[in-house]
């Protein structure tokens, strides 16, 4: 599933392996491949330095051994994350509330469908809040997913206030003893101050309805966005306290390099990864497995 990511890197690696020895050209090829996958210049140079050091100190001579080194170098940059999963509400304080935020088209609504599907399979009841009130189509899209996953939905008229819809959904969940509220929000550019202010209001209203902060505020990032994902993480973190990242569209990206280092920079756990458009295409994030898949 992850074949697309670092495709260029893998092809180049195979060519380097073909040469059977490590030379300057090897490092140059590796550098170019990492940069082409949109790995930042800093992270690329750190990785190269690490590999050169390993070659010197451990007398590595074969590109094949280097591949293992590279895997480790990438995996450590995702930190010691184990799949902790989503944070549910403390016992007795249900419902759990998860807000999904991010720029346009990254996969927020699809991820909500996938998470609803997962929760339903675990026997939890789910209510979706149609907090993307900008477009009628967005509300209909969520309704379709609610039907398919067996979730309920709270919706309002297009153009109505996003935070009131989410407020209503939380109240409905309390009244009907529903386990989890999944709140959709409209896609918003991280550079638009008024939209980020609106998001702060959503977070505040959620807190008011719930008596505590949302259990998760998940920033959804499209793996294809390259280094701009870092900017998005910066701005969304500043506006609202992001508790976890969801990385989507990993099934088709050749620019996943930007994601190396995103954990290191923000120390926000990557909670879920999206690997397709269907409800089952969602996985926990485990750095080692993830990196192993990239290389195999």
User: Minimum distance between the CB of residue 296 and ligand GTP, rounded to whole angstroms?
Assistant: 20
Query: 40 or 133: whose CB is closer to Mg ion?
Result: 133
List the one residue from 190, 249, 255, 271 that touches ligand GTP (CB under 6 A): 249
110 contacts ligand GTP (rule: CB under 6 A): yes
Expressed in angstroms, the distance from the first to the final Cα of the chain is: 11
Distance in Å, CB of 286 to ligand GTP, minimum? 17
What is the C-alpha to C-alpha distance for residues 224 and 257, in angstroms, rounded to an integer? 9
Spatial separation of the C-alpha atoms in residues 210 and 169, rounded to whole Å: 11
CB of 111 to Mg ion, least distance (A): 9
Separation CA 63–CA 19 (nearest Å): 8
**Secondary structure letter of residue 276 according to DSSP:** S
Q: 34 or 220, CB closer to ligand GTP?
A: 220
Using the minimum distance from each CB to Mg ion, give the nearer residue, 103 or 294. Answer: 103
Is 143 a binder of ligand GTP (CB under 6 A)?
no
What SS3 state is found at 291? Answer: helix
Backbone angles phi, psi at 182, to 5 degrees: -110, 110
Spatial separation of the C-alpha atoms in residues 102 and 220, rounded to whole Å: 5
- Rounded to 5°, angle at Cα 23 from 21 and 25: 120
The residue from 4, 107, 226, 257 that contacts ligand GTP (CB under 6 A) is 107
| Residue 108 in contact with ligand GTP, rule: CB under 6 A | yes
Q: Give the shortest CB-182-to-Mg ion separation in angstroms.
A: 12
Rule CB under 6 A: which of 177-236 touch ligand GTP? Answer: 187
> Per rule CB under 6 A, is residue 105 in the interface with ligand GTP?
yes
Assess 277 for contact with ligand GTP (CB under 6 A). Answer: yes
Residue 124 token pair: 């939890």
Residue 87 CB coordination number (10 Å): 15
Listed residue (272, 114, 97) closest to 202, CA to CA: 97
Q: Which option in ligand GTP, Mg ion, none does residue 63 bind, with CB closer than 5 to 8 A by kind?
A: none
276 binds, among ligand GTP, Mg ion, none (CB under 5 to 8 A by kind): ligand GTP
- Kindly identify the residues of this chain, within the stretch 84-143, that bind Mg ion according to CB under 5 A: 108-109
Q: State which residue, 246 or 291, has the beta carbon closest to ligand GTP.
A: 246
Residue 32 or 143 with smaller CB distance to ligand GTP: 143
Question: Which of 117, 248 has the CB closer to ligand GTP?
Answer: 248
64 lies in the binding site for ligand GTP (CB under 6 A) = no
Angle at 143 between CA 186 and CA 108, to 5 degrees: 35
Going across the sheet that includes 270-274, the strands are 152-154, 126-129, 180-183, 96-101, 216-222, 244-248, 270-274, 282-284
Joined together, the tokens standing for residue 197 give: 């202010």
**Cα–Cα dist 51/55, whole Å:** 6
Least gap, CB of 60 to ligand GTP (angstroms): 36
Select 137 or 193, whichever has its Cβ closest to ligand GTP.
137
Which residues in this chain contact Mg ion in the complex, by CB under 5 A? 108-109
Which residues in this chain contact ligand GTP in the complex, by CB under 6 A? 102, 104-110, 132, 138, 187, 248-249, 251-252, 274-277, 281
């Amino acid at each position: 599933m992850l074949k697309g990511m670092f495709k260029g890197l893998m092809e180049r690696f195979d060519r380097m392996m073909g040469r059977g020895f490590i030379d300057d050209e090897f490092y140059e090829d590796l550098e170019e491949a990492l940069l082409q996958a949109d790995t930042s210049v800093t992270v690329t140079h750190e990785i190269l330095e690490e590999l050169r050091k390993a070659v010197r100190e451990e007398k590595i001579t074969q590109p094949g051994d280097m591949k293992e080194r590279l895997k480790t170098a990438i995996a450590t940059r995702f930190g010691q994350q184990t799949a902790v999963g989503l944070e549910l509400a403390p016992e007795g304080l249900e419902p759990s509330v998860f807000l999904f935020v991010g720029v346009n088209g990254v996969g927020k609504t699809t991820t909500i469908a996938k998470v609803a599907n997962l929760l339903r399979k675990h026997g939890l009841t789910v209510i979706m809040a149609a907090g993307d009130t900008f477009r009628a189509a967005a509300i209909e899209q969520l309704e379709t997913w609610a039907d398919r996953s067996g979730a309920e939905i709270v919706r309002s008229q297009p153009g109505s206030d996003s935070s009131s819809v989410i407020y209503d959904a939380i109240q409905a969940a309390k009244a009907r003893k529903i386990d989890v509220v999944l709140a959709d929000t409209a896609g918003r550019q991280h550079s638009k101050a008024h939209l980020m202010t609106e998001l702060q209001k959503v977070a505040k209203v959620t807190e008011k309805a719930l008596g505590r902060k949302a259990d998760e505020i998940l920033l959804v990032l499209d793996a294809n966005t390259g280094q701009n994902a870092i900017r998005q993480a910066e701005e969304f973190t500043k506006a609202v306290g992001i508790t976890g990242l969801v990385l989507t569209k990993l099934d088709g990206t050749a620019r996943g390099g930007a994601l190396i280092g995103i954990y290191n920079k923000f120390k926000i756990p990557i909670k879920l990864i999206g690997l397709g458009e269907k409800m089952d295409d969602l996985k926990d994030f485990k750095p080692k497995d993830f990196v192993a898949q990239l290389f195999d």
